[in-house]
Amino acid sequence: MADQDFPAGELMRGKRGLVMGVANSNSIAWAIARQLAVQGAELAFTYQGEALERRARPLIESIGADIFVECDVTNDTTMDNTFATLKDKWGHIDFLVHAIAFAGKDQLVGSFVENTTREGFKSALDISAYSFVDAARRASEIMNDGGAMVTLTYLGSERVVPNYNVMGVAKAALEACTRYIAADLGPRGIRVNAISAGPVRTLAAAGIGSARHIFKFNKAASALQDNTDPMGVAGAALYLLSDLGLSCTGETHHVDGGFHAIGMPREEPLGEPMN
Ligand code: NAP
């Protein structure tokens, strides 16, 4: 149902939040943003660079959002400006969506132990894990008690996925960060969760070597025998960011067609003999 919205409702009416990571209409952050808007949320967005601004602006305007701030998560000045803008325009926010990750293409191919450089490791962990700690701290300073935060992760944090390499390490760190942030902000009733999405065709996914094989194998070996629908990820985010998610925090919630639950695929998962 990728192009259809869930039925309109009031789950997020009166709530305001920041969505980080919309690059284009295929972005997971966009699927989430659309469904938050359909449920009445008021949204602000960040973008990185002029090219992305051109691609993302029409999407963002299509849902009537007018706070659209340039932000590179490795640049403190742009992070300061993003949260100062939110404070200035809204005073307080109720939720944060963090859907940002990056590793150099040379880090996402072949042997992990051979190809992971110090710089590649630092930058992957900085952009893909530390950025959530930084954004969560800044967001918490203007977040109403009882707010919620969601980040996006992938099974490559728990198991070896070919070519995912240093990004798997970054996602493991991101999931641990989620638990620590949840513990720190819990006394204020702020819930912090991660969604572990199965493979979705986005710009970020295109950067990972053997993406075609990953999609084919996930479809064949998952419990639902299908690839992950971004709408499923958006639905999970809606649950975790709205009052439906009360009492749920520090969790890594898999939305991957049940792929994570399978210990061993059925015989001939790819439709051809394996030997
Ligand atoms: P996407 O559309 O390419 O979104 C990734 C976003 O991260 C882009 O907007 C990108 O902007 C942004 N970003 C990268 N470096 C940044 C920086 N220094 N400062 C600010 N923004 C930066 O891809 P996506 O697949 O939706 O990714 C969203 C999240 O979902 C990521 O955390 C990803 O790891 C996670 N996820 C994806 C899948 C999947 O299969 N697609 C599965 C599980 C989890 P630029 O384009 O300018 O770099």
Q: Which domains does the chain have, with CATH numbers?
A: 16-255 (3.40.50.720)
Q: Which atom of ligand 1 is nearest to the CA of 171?
A: 34
Whether the pLDDT of residue 169 is over 70: the answer is yes
* Pocket of ligand 1 contains residue 170 by CB under 6 Å: no
* Pocket of ligand 1 contains residue 205 by CB under 6 Å: yes
180 alpha carbon to ligand 1 midpoint, in Å? Answer: 22
- If one compares 270 and 184, the residue with the highest pLDDT of the two is 184
Active site (catalytic) residues: 154, 164
pLDDT level of residue 221 (50, 70, 90 thresholds): very high
Of the listed ranges 73-87, 158-172, 201-215, 219-233, the least confidently predicted one is 201-215
pLDDT level of residue 75 (50, 70, 90 thresholds): very high
Of the listed ranges 42-51, 96-105, 194-203, the least confidently predicted one is 42-51
pLDDT level of residue 268 (50, 70, 90 thresholds): low
* Pocket of ligand 1 contains residue 154 by CB under 6 Å: yes
List the residue whose alpha carbon is closest to atom 47 of ligand 1: 48
Which pLDDT belongs to residue 272?
Answer: 55
Which residue in 74, 128, 124 sits closest to 101, CA to CA? Answer: 128
DSSP 259: G
pLDDT level of residue 275 (50, 70, 90 thresholds): very low
153 alpha carbon to ligand 1 midpoint, in Å? Answer: 10
Q: Which atom of ligand 1 is nearest to the CA of 127?
A: 18
pTM: 0.96
pLDDT level of residue 267 (50, 70, 90 thresholds): confident
Mean pLDDT of 8-28: 96
Which pLDDT belongs to residue 211?
Answer: 80
User: Any idea which residue has 């305007």 for tokens?
Assistant: 61
Mean pLDDT of 35-41: 97
Outline where the chain has alpha helix (H).
28-38, 50-62, 76-90, 112-115, 118-125, 131-142, 165-185, 203-206, 211-221, 230-241
Which pLDDT belongs to residue 28?
Answer: 98
Rounded to whole angstroms, how far apart are CA atoms 190 and 184?
A: 9
Which pLDDT belongs to residue 269?
Answer: 55
